[in-house]
Structure 1
Amino acid sequence: MNWDWEKLRENQQKYEKNKGGSGGGPGMPRPPQMDEIFNKFKGFKFPGIFIGVIVLLILYLASSTFYTVDRSEVGVVQRFGKYNRLAQPGLNFKLPSGIEKVTKVNVRTPETEEFGVQAAESAGAYGNASESSLMLTGDLNVGVVPWIVQYRRADPRAYLFNVKDVISLLRNMSEATMRTVVGDRSINEVITERAQIAQAAREMLQSELDNAKAGIAIVNIEMKRTNVPEPVQASFNQVNQAIQEKEQTIYKAREEYNKAVPLARGEAKRVIKDAEGYAIDRVNRAQGDATRFLAVYDAYSQAKDVTRKRMYLETMLNVLPQIGAKYIIDSDQKNVLPLLNMGEGASTLSDRFLQKGE
């Protein structure tokens, strides 16, 4: 609003002439009166665009100061670019834009990073596997190892401010960790022990991310089907077949071993027991003979003549039945030829001599 100072000056001069110059001092112009100022404002009208700008400004301030955070998210509030506080789920208030800024971070929903999975699935036989899934095993074989990493943002502040590119860090550390774990195992272990490899890789990767303070929590690592590159697939199958045949031969040898060794051990134990029994029998027999001999000796020492005669008779009783014809000759007989009658009467004659001897 512009004042018409020329008109006001003319009115002042006319007023001084009429009132005798009483306008606040000689030669001083009279200031505008309040009723004149109100009359001026009564005639002034605000344009419509000015009102629209004011309404838009009010709406902008309201929209930039109130915001909502989803229940799976956390709001990270920055004041002049510096971290200030965390906003929990629900309706929240902040200072207008330019002063405070809020960044919403999902901290509950797991996200996924894939390594060589799409290339392996599209190649079918792993002919075009990506470089991230090609790994050298501990026995100097090359394997195609695709896997999936599931993670969530556990610490929003660390996730936003500690690392410039968190996803790139996650991918690089995941690949380095998996290569380390696979490099400590043979190709057969990599193919057959996927659960153990996934668990070891998860623990190692979480430790590395904690050291980097990336604000990421590893939920799970899933190992996909592991194989070898297509150019060496046939040779690898032949090696596996040879290994299986080797193991089968070993199992058969162990089976024969398990049959033969216990049988031999049982036979050895039986022979040992027989020998022990024979030794006990011989010892017992020897002890019995010694005891009997001592008993005979005791009897002989008490009555030598009687014992000598008894022993002679017992010996003759055992010896005579075992010989054929028996001839008992008188000590005075000089010629035994007439007595040797080789015929039927020999036994009778011998019997006669026996009777005579008796």
Structure 2
Amino acid sequence: MRSQFGKNGGWSRPDAGNLEQVSEAIRRNVRKLGPILLGIILVLLILSGVYSVNPGEQGVVRTFGKETGKTGPGLHFAVPLVQKVNVVNVEQIRRIEVGFRGKERVPSEALMLTGDENIVEAQVIVQYRVVDPSKYLFRLRDPEQTILATAEVSLRSVIGRTT
């Protein structure tokens, strides 16, 4: 039985005249594909700027690194390569443990000296919620470490005054 594609499965070596036709066809197709590829890239770039903020969250928009606004729950758009959005959960109750981590003790935080020079071990859980996401994100390098240090200092101060 004879193949419908001819010899070599339809593949044949083009002759010199045919080679020019092939190269011209490739050039024409590349010219047609250029705008299509550019359009696809442009659509993908625009879609990369779409973001969502869930209920209970707040978005902080930065344009060229400077804070320019806040967004609430919903679907939003940020200009790609120009704007960046940080989303913070403002309803979540966060907790920091002072004097322990899970079941492990942290003696450097837990052991404290009272006013009558006795040593006590104190363990505290600090619960907090983010009220202003801008301050939470950009005013402190490590907000959780700052809250931990502040809670420890406050606890030591109160325990140090008691006898």
TM over 0.5: yes
Provide the residue aligned with 1:159 in structure 2. 136
Provide the residue aligned with 1:85 in structure 2. 69
Structure 2: runs of 5 or more not aligned: 1-23
* One-letter amino acid of the counterpart of residue 143, structure 1: V
Provide the residue aligned with 1:130 in structure 2. 107
Q: In percent, how many aligned pairs have the same letter?
A: 34
Q: Are 1:57 and 2:42 matched, yes or no?
A: yes
Which of 59, 66, 72 matches 2:56?
72
Q: Deviations over 1:191-248 (max 9, x none)?
A: xxxxxxxxxxxxxxxxxxxxxxxxxxxxxxxxxxxxxxxxxxxxxxxxxxxxxxxxxx
1:61, CA displacement in angstroms? 1.8
* Partner Cα separation in structure 2 for residue 61 and residue 144 of structure 1: 56
Q: Deviations over 1:89-117 (max 9, x none)?
A: 11112222x21111001111011111223
* Partner Cα separation in structure 1 for residue 38 and residue 28 of structure 2: 19
Which moves more between the two structures, 46-55 or 148-157? 46-55
| Alignment TM-score, normalising by the size of structure 1 | 0.36
1:165, CA displacement in angstroms? 2.0
Structure with max Cα Rg: 1
* Partner Cα separation in structure 1 for residue 127 and residue 54 of structure 2: 21
Relative to its length, the structure with more helix (as a share) is 1
Structure 1: runs of 5 or more not aligned: 1-39, 123-127, 187-358
* Partner Cα separation in structure 2 for residue 112 and residue 52 of structure 1: 49
- Where does structure 1 differ by over 3 angstroms across 4 or more consecutive aligned residues? 47-54
* Partner Cα separation in structure 1 for residue 106 and residue 51 of structure 2: 46
User: Structure 1 residues 179 and 75 mapped into 2: Cα distance closer, same or farther (>3 Å)?
Assistant: same
Q: Are 1:177 and 2:154 matched, yes or no?
A: yes
Structure 2 counterparts to residues 174-213 of structure 1, below 5 A? 174-186=151-163
Which of 75, 84, 89 matches 1:106?
89
Structure 2 counterparts to residues 1-358 of structure 1, below 5 A? 44-46=28-30, 50=34, 51-52=36-37, 54-64=39-49, 66-96=50-80, 98-118=81-101, 121-122=103-104, 129-186=106-163
* Partner Cα separation in structure 2 for residue 118 and residue 162 of structure 1: 26
1:60, CA displacement in angstroms? 2.6
1:49, CA displacement in angstroms? 6.8
Alignment RMSD (CA, Å): 2.6
